[in-house]
């Protein structure tokens, strides 16, 4: 009989050991580890190949593609952008052409939304009104995000007196009521283009994005990869642009997406009060203002531009909520 092994003698883990089943054979630890990690035939436990770990953005896109709220809102927004770029594709009428004989007339053949006070086709004005309203919202959002992100990132990264000064300036702008500020600022502007309205929104909107960007940069600059890059000799500009900004931009994108719908509604409000966009510019706010006095006689004049405005704002808010859920790891 073979000698019994001393229980105090160390055992080589790669030595051939007979398994409990009673059959002989060698036992390879490397193969066993691979079997545990990959499963049978080098595959994952669920039967598929081992997937490469996804980044935050690829993971967010993976979730967005399966979110029905994102799909519906994205389709609405794509249709709006199509109308903004090419309104002639769905209407051949002139939004400024008036026929007083058709004043406040209801829907008819070729004019599904009826006519307004001056006999202009409401359907055509709703289509062309999307261009001004959406353009103001997009331009204002881009300006607010760029200005607020730059100032907030600098304040969060350098801190000190720069952060203190920016915080106090932000507090001043936060204390200005938006509607009252618009009435004061835009009432002295005679230019009827969209740029005074966009400038006013950027002037009062950047502090919110700046605070979000500041907090994100303060959180990101404390991570180990930033300390490692600094130890390797990376300068402030490289740290901020290459390492901190890509990892701090997600909250800014979420706020900007939701704010876009808010700026569209704000433009309509200012135009309704008579200090935003002005004729001959075609805007939903202008049409709502003209139709507000005729809501009993011709409700169709108010229904369609107000409905288009509400649907547009809702689509952008839904898109922002879906993006927030996808980019926030705590919610996922």
Given a cut of 50, the residues of the chain with pLDDT beneath it are: 1-2, 4-45
Between CA 151 and CA 165 the distance in angstroms is: 11
Place of tokens 């053949």: 109
| The length of the chain, given as a count of residues | 332
* Four-residue CA torsion sign, 208, 214, 215, 216: positive
- Compute the distance between CA of residue 37 and CA of residue 23 in angstroms, rounded to an integer: 25
Task: Tell me which long-range contacts 154-159 makes (C-beta under 8 A, separation of at least 24).
Answer: 155/210, 155/214, 156/213, 156/214, 156/215, 156/216, 156/217, 156/218, 156/221, 157/217, 157/221, 157/236, 157/239, 157/240, 157/244, 158/236, 159/218
- Range(s) of the chain covered by CATH 1.10.3720.10: 56-327
Residues linked to residue 108 through DSSP beta bridges, in sequence order: 111
Contact 323, 257 (CB under 8 A): yes
pLDDT of residue 188: 84
Backbone phi, psi, residue 111, to 5°: -135, 75
**Among the CATH numbers 3.30.360.10, 2.160.10.10, 1.20.1600.10, 1.10.3720.10, which is that of 56-327?**
1.10.3720.10
For the entire predicted model, the pTM comes to: 0.77
Task: Please tell me the predicted confidence (pLDDT) of residue 27.
Answer: 43
């Amino acid at each position: 009989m073979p000698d019994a092994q001393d229980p105090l003698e160390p055992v080589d883990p790669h030595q051939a050991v007979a398994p409990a089943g009673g059959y002989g054979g060698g036992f390879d630890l490397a193969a066993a580890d691979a079997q545990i990690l990959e499963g049978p035939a080098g595959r994952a436990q669920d039967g598929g190949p081992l997937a490469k770990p996804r980044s935050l953005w690829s993971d967010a896109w993976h979730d967005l593609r399966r979110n029905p709220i994102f799909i519906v809102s994205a389709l609405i927004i794509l249709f709006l952008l199509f109308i903004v770029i090419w309104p002639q594709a769905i209407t051949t009428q002139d939004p400024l052409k008036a026929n007083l004989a058709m004043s406040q007339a209801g829907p008819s053949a070729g004019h599904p939304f009826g006519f307004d006070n001056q006999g202009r086709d409401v359907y055509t004005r709703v289509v062309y009104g999307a261009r001004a309203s959406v353009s103001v919202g997009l331009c204002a959002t881009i300006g607010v995000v760029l200005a607020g992100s730059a100032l907030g990132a600098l304040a969060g990264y350098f801190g000190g007196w720069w952060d203190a000064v920016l915080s106090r300036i932000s507090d001043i702008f936060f204390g200005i009521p938006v509607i009252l500020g618009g009435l004061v600022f835009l009432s002295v502007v005679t230019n009827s283009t969209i740029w005074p309205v966009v400038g006013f929104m950027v002037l009062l909107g950047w502090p919110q994005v700046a605070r979000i960007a500041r907090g994100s940069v303060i959180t990101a600059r404390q991570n180990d990869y930033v300390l490692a890059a600094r130890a390797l000799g990376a300068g402030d500009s490289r740290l901020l642009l290459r390492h901190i900004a890509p990892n701090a931009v997600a909250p800014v994108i979420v706020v900007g997406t939701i704010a876009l719908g808010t700026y569209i509604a704000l433009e309509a409000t200012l135009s309704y009060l008579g200090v935003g966009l002005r004729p001959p510019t075609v805007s939903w706010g202008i049409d709502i203002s003209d139709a507000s006095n005729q809501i009993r006689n011709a409700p169709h004049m108010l229904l369609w531009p107000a409905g288009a405005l509400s649907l547009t704002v809702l689509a952008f808010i839904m898109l922002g909520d879906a993006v927030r859920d996808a980019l926030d790891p705590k919610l996922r």
